[in-house]
């Protein structure tokens, strides 16, 4: 058995199979689901030991259980920073392919928590930096280094406006410049996929936000114009993911 060197692991190892047995047998009371959620997804964006092994069982349950679907999605979204996550994508390829279908089907119903399913699909596509960072563009801010002068540029996309600015802790966002959204034709393959998905499901604000995110910004200090997504990805892509992306391109 893998030694994870963490004190709560023996408890997980003992309890997890029994809890999964219970929900599979139809005994998934609210408290059982809550316990599973705490056990498998309690660490937010970190993959919890035990969750990769639980994923195929959760995906099978997700055919009829929304809770299992949400839990499987959270596990996949948390797989970005971890070797175990990389392994999970290889070992549970079939389960992850089915999860993609199930999440896609749910998104077509336009659920209120649409963005979480959207982010799960992004993680399945190994767009981990967008999966982790993308908001619903109600009031989103991104910090992106200017590639020319290294100023940490604040990018606003949402209810506060669509602008690049220098963030001043006293004066707020100053030296604002309007963002230059990408036209639909200018979107790269990933951007176009994200945009089309949002449009398909009637998520207009998300679709518009993606055009801004994939567009260009002017640096408020040196006035150079740069691609927001390129600079954001360069600054935020986990080191492992770049390896994965290369591999998936050559696969
Ligand atoms: Zn600059």
Cβ atoms of 182 and 196 within 8 Å: the answer is: no
Query: Which spans in the chain are helix H?
Result: 9-24, 30-41, 51-62, 66-77, 83-91, 93-108, 114-124, 128-133, 189-200, 204-213, 228-236, 239-250
Given pLDDT bands bounded at 50, 70 and 90, which one contains residue 247? very low
Distance (angstroms) between ligand 1 centre and the Cα of 241 equals 27
Distance (angstroms) between ligand 1 centre and the Cα of 189 equals 27
pLDDT for residue 185 is more than 90: yes
Distance (angstroms) between ligand 1 centre and the Cα of 148 equals 5
| pLDDT of res. 118 | 97
pLDDT for residue 132 is more than 90: no
Distance (angstroms) between ligand 1 centre and the Cα of 162 equals 18
Cα dist from 36 to 48, 75, 81, 170, whole Å: 12, 12, 22, 44
Distance (angstroms) between ligand 1 centre and the Cα of 158 equals 23
Q: What's the average model confidence in pLDDT over 104-117?
A: 96
Distance (angstroms) between ligand 1 centre and the Cα of 237 equals 21
| pLDDT of res. 238 | 60
Cβ atoms of 12 and 50 within 8 Å: the answer is: yes
| pLDDT of res. 246 | 45
* Helix H or strand E encompassing 134: none
* pTM of the predicted model as reported, rounded to 2 decimal places: 0.83
Q: What's the average model confidence in pLDDT over 112-139?
A: 91
Distance (angstroms) between ligand 1 centre and the Cα of 160 equals 22
What is the C-alpha separation between 154 and 145, in angstroms, rounded? 9
Chain position carrying tokens 């602008």:
163
| pLDDT of res. 3 | 54
Q: What's the average model confidence in pLDDT over 116-135?
A: 90
Distance (angstroms) between ligand 1 centre and the Cα of 226 equals 9
What is the C-alpha separation between 235 and 244, in angstroms, rounded? 17
Distance (angstroms) between ligand 1 centre and the Cα of 152 equals 8
| pLDDT of res. 60 | 95
Residue-averaged pLDDT of the chain:
87
Distance (angstroms) between ligand 1 centre and the Cα of 192 equals 27
pLDDT for residue 144 is more than 50: yes
| pLDDT of res. 37 | 86
Can you give the residue ranges of every domain in the chain? 9-124, 139-250
Q: What's the average model confidence in pLDDT over 188-197?
A: 95
| pLDDT of res. 155 | 96
Query: Cα 73 from chain centroid?
Result: 9
């Amino acid at each position: 058995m893998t030694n994870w060197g963490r004190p709560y692991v023996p408890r997980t190892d003992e309890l997890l199979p029994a809890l999964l047995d219970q929900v599979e047998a139809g005994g998934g009371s609210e408290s059982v689901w809550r316990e599973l959620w705490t056990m498998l997804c309690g660490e937010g964006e970190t993959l919890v030991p035990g969750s990769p092994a639980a994923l195929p069982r959760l995906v099978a349950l997700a055919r009829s259980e929304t809770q299992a679907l949400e839990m499987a999605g959270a596990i996949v979204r948390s797989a970005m920073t971890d070797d175990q996550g990389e392994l999970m994508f290889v070992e549970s390829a079939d389960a992850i392919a089915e999860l993609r279908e199930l999440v896609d089907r749910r998104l077509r119903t336009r659920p209120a928590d649409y963005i979480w399913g959207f982010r799960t699909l992004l993680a399945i596509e190994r767009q981990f930096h967008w999966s982790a960072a993308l908001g619903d563009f109600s009031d989103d801010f991104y910090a992106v280094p200017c590639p020319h002068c290294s100023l940490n540029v604040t990018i606003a996309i949402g209810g506060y406006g669509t602008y690049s600015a220098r963030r001043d802790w006293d004066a707020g966002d100053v030296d604002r410049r309007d963002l230059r959204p990408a036209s639909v034709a200018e979107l790269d393959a990933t951007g176009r996929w994200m945009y089309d998905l949002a449009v398909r499901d009637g998520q207009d604000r998300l679709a518009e936000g993606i055009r801004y995110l994939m567009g260009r910004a002017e640096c408020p200090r040196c006035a150079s114009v740069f691609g927001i997504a390129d600079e954001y990805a360069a600054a935020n892509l986990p080191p492992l993911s770049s390896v994965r992306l290369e591999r998936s391109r050559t696969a």
